[in-house]
Structure formats: structure tokens, C-alpha cells
């Protein structure tokens, strides 16, 4: 009888210990999840403070903000007190990307006006620049207006141009785009190892395409 009671007590206490252990493990997991959630909330809060200048959701295009966008994959610059997002154009520049990248995140008025060679950009180039306009320096925008402006720079006429060309030459690589006085473009394209010279109208429609001299079919 005593042995039966002792066995029952052992089983009882074993069950109690198991329940307490399971409860402790569950509590620790909940604490970890709660801590992780709090960290995520704090991180998101910090990110919001970084990206938005006020708690009302307004955004100011300061020079300090432009500095944050200083890479080939995220390139903003200031020209004549206006902010431009030229990210999608960097690799299409007639003078190669190296001409633009030193000015990502910086004031670039003199560089653009003189092409770093005391030669002015054409009116066509100035017109093209408008496709990448985000806002005036120190202008206050709502976060919604900012996103809309950035989407316009990503869906610019240049992007439509490249899309139309690559629809006809899938897998091709556009190496250079030069705006023309009539609003069209001269485009250098590499397709299946062959260099093409393409002329388009202002909407990117292909008017003429030919293999560059020295290239074989």
C-alpha cells in the first residue's frame, strides 16, 4: 500500500514538474516574441524618423536627404536648386555611367551645365532632365506626393523608350542613349553579339535600325 502511494506521489510530482517546465518554456518564447516585436516596432519607428522629416508624414528635400542617395542603384543629385532622381538613367548616359556617378548624392549644377569640359549640355538634355525631377531643394512634400514623383522618374519617357526597344530586341543591352533636337533619340544596342544603331521618335517608337559599320550579320 505504501509503495502504491509513493508511486502515485512520484507520478503526481513528475506531472507537476512537466507542467511547470512547459509553462516556463512557453513564457520564455512569448517574451522572446514580444521582445522581437518591440524591436521591430522601434526599428520601423526609427526608419520613419529617418525617411520623414515630421510626424505629420511630410518630407523635406534637404541636401542632407539627397546625400543618402549616393550610389549607382540610388542616385539623386541637385541641379540649380532642384532635386533629380537619375537612377534609371545612369547606365544610359552617352558619356557612360562614370560621368554621373561621382555626383550621386551631391550638388551637380556646374558639372551638368559644363559637362565638366566647359561645354554646355544641349536643350534636349535639359528637356530630358525634367523626366527625373523630384522637387525643389528644401521643398516640403507629403509622403504620397513624394512617392508619386519618384514613380514618375522611374516611369519616365526614357523608361518607355527602353521598354519599346527591348520588346523588339528581347535580351538586348542598351549601351547609350542620345537625345536629338527633334525630340527623338539615337540608341546604341547590343543584341546577340551585334552592335545596332537605332533611331526613335520622341515616344520611343523605332524609326530606323541598322547594324553599325564594321559589324557582320
Question: What's the CATH number where 100 sits?
Answer: 3.10.120.10
Are both 88 and 137 inside the same structural domain? yes
- Higher per-residue pLDDT: 56 or 141: 141
Are both 144 and 88 inside the same structural domain? yes
Residue 46 domain-assigned?
A: no
- 188-200 pLDDT, tens digit each: 999 999 999 999 8
Are both 78 and 148 inside the same structural domain? yes
Q: Cell 522572446 maps to which residue?
A: 32
What is the count of structural domains for the chain? 2
Are both 124 and 189 inside the same structural domain? no
- pLDDT computed for residue 92 by the predictor: 80
**Cβ atoms within 10 Å, residue 8:** 10
Domain that holds residue 194: 158-211
- 68-124 pLDDT, tens digit each: 999 999 999 999 999 999 998 887 887 778 889 999 999 999 999 998 888 888 888
Q: Looking at 138, 155, 172, which one is the last position of a domain?
A: 155
Residue 77 domain-assigned?
A: yes
Alpha-carbon distance of 189 to 184, in angstroms, equals 16
68 close to 134: Cβ distance less than 8 angstroms? no
Alpha-carbon distance of 135 to 154, in angstroms, equals 14
- pLDDT computed for residue 182 by the predictor: 80
With residue 214 as reference, give the H or E element that holds it: none
- pLDDT computed for residue 38 by the predictor: 35
Are both 144 and 67 inside the same structural domain? yes
- 15-50 pLDDT, tens digit each: 555 555 555 444 454 444 333 333 322 333 333 333
- 163-184 pLDDT, tens digit each: 888 999 999 998 888 888 787 8
* pTM for this predicted structure: 0.60
Are both 169 and 132 inside the same structural domain? no
Residue 136 domain-assigned?
A: yes
Query: Does position 5 have pLDDT exceeding 60, yes or no?
Result: no
Are both 165 and 198 inside the same structural domain? yes
Are both 149 and 68 inside the same structural domain? yes
Are both 63 and 150 inside the same structural domain? yes
Residue 100 domain-assigned?
A: yes
Are both 135 and 75 inside the same structural domain? yes
- Higher per-residue pLDDT: 82 or 58: 82
CATH number at residue 175: 3.10.450.630
Mean pLDDT, all residues of the chain: 77
Amino acid at each position: 500500500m505504501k509503495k502504491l502511494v509513493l508511486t502515485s506521489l512520484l507520478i503526481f510530482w513528475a506531472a507537476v514538474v512537466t507542467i511547470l517546465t512547459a509553462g516556463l518554456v512557453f513564457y520564455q518564447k512569448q517574451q522572446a516574441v514580444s521582445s522581437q516585436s518591440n524591436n521591430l516596432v522601434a526599428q520601423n519607428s526609427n526608419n520613419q524618423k529617418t525617411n520623414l522629416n515630421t510626424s505629420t508624414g511630410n518630407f523635406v528635400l534637404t541636401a542632407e536627404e539627397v546625400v543618402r542617395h549616393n550610389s549607382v542603384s540610388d542616385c539623386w543629385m541637385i541641379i540649380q536648386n532642384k532635386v533629380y532622381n537619375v537612377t534609371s538613367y545612369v547606365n544610359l548616359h552617352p558619356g557612360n555611367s562614370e560621368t554621373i556617378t561621382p555626383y550621386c548624392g551631391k550638388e551637380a549644377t556646374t558639372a551638368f551645365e559644363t559637362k565638366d569640359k566647359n561645354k554646355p549640355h544641349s536643350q534636349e538634355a535639359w528637356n530630358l532632365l525634367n523626366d527625373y525631377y523630384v522637387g525643389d531643394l528644401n521643398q516640403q512634400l507629403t509622403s504620397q506626393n513624394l512617392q508619386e514623383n519618384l514613380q514618375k522618374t522611374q516611369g519616365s519617357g526614357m523608361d518607355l523608350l527602353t521598354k519599346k526597344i527591348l520588346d523588339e530586341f528581347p535580351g538586348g543591352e542598351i549601351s547609350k542613349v542620345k537625345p536629338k533636337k527633334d525630340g527623338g533619340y539615337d540608341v546604341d544596342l547590343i543584341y546577340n553579339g551585334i552592335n545596332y544603331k537605332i533611331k526613335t521618335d520622341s515616344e520611343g517608337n523605332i524609326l530606323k535600325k541598322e547594324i553599325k559599320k564594321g559589324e557582320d550579320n
